[in-house]
Structures are given as structure tokens and as C-alpha cells.
Amino acid sequence: MNRPIPFKGFRTNRGGSVLKCYWAAPKDCKACPMKSKCVPNTKCKKITRTIYDEQYLRAYARQHSERGKRMKNLRQSTVEPVFGSLTQFYGLRKIGVLGKAGAHKVMLMAAVAFNLKKYLKKGGGKPSIGILRTIMSALQVNLIAFYQHIQPRQFLIKTP
């Protein structure tokens, strides 16, 4: 009924997330004619919000602005199909290496393969021997670094 609900403090839920707690005074809710519809089974109105509520609202407003809608359309038409192709046809549903460096190398190799196939499909013709040598040397350097990064896994065998 047009009365502010004051901030009462912070609370942590079971998952470890911090929440902001707001609740009205029970005497205010008791005198309110909307109590039977608003909070029929409790003494007062309680609201909990995440501590990142302001950032969420700002991001939501940015996404639903005209510029945000244009950026979403652009992203959906340029970037997301590439990730879809990489996951569906280039074996990137799972990355079988440990660490960010290894994952970066796998993504780099897949991107090179994707771009080379796209270049050939668009009628770029056969690449010159110089381009192929450059690509092969880059792949060789990345493969050597890739295999040096991978550590052999040790398996523990439990005996009964």
C-alpha cells in the first residue's frame, strides 16, 4: 500500500549465496487491507534479493534496449553458428585435455580447421605452397606445444 519495505540485513542460503533481506513491520501488514491477498499465512511481507540485483537489472535493461537487440541478432548470425559447427562437426563436445592452456590449443586447432575449410569452400582456390607451409608450421608448433603440455595420467588400481 505504497509504503517502503526496509532493508533488514544479509542472509546466506544453503548454497552459500548471500541474499539481501527486506521485510515490513508486522504492525504495518496487520493494518493493511491487502494482507489477505499479499501474505495470508505470514505476519509480514518478506522479500529476498541477491546481492547482485542491481547488476542483473542493469544487464536486463541493456539486453532489452534497441542496441542490445541488434547486438543479439548480430551475435546469433555470426558467432553462435560457428560454435554450433565446432561442437557438432569438429569434435568439440568434450575437450579431452586438462587446463586452460590445453583447451586453448584444442580450440585453436579446431578454428584453424574450420577457417581453412571455409576458405576452400568459398572458392578461394587451392592455397599457394607458401600459405600451406605457413599453416603447417603453425600447426606443427602448436602440436608440439600441445603434446608437451599433456601429462600422462596415472591410474590407481585397487586390489580387493
34 lies in the same domain as 98 = no
107 lies in the same domain as 138 = yes
3 lies in the same domain as 61 = yes
pLDDT at position 19 is 94
Instruction: Give the domain-ending residue among 78, 96, 121.
Output: 78
pLDDT at position 155 is 40
The pLDDT tens digits of the residues spanning 59-117 come to: 999 999 999 999 999 988 888 888 888 888 877 888 888 888 888 888 888 888 888 88
In a domain, 157, yes or no: no
* pLDDT mean over 107-133: 77
74 lies in the same domain as 87 = no
In this predicted structure, the answer to whether residue 159 has a pLDDT above a threshold of 50 is no
Q: Quote the number of domains for the chain.
A: 2
Instruction: Give the domain-ending residue among 78, 100, 132.
Output: 78
In this predicted structure, the answer to whether residue 128 has a pLDDT above a threshold of 80 is no
pLDDT at position 144 is 65
pLDDT at position 89 is 82
The pLDDT tens digits of the residues spanning 3-51 come to: 788 899 999 999 899 999 998 888 888 888 888 888 888 888 899 999 9
* pLDDT mean over 111-131: 77
53 lies in the same domain as 104 = no
In this predicted structure, the answer to whether residue 153 has a pLDDT above a threshold of 60 is no
pLDDT at position 143 is 65
In a domain, 155, yes or no: no
Instruction: Give the domain-ending residue among 27, 54, 78.
Output: 78
Q: What's the domain range around 120? A: 80-149
In a domain, 156, yes or no: no
24 lies in the same domain as 70 = yes
| Cα–Cα dist 37/1, whole Å | 12
Which pTM was predicted? Answer: 0.47
In a domain, 159, yes or no: no
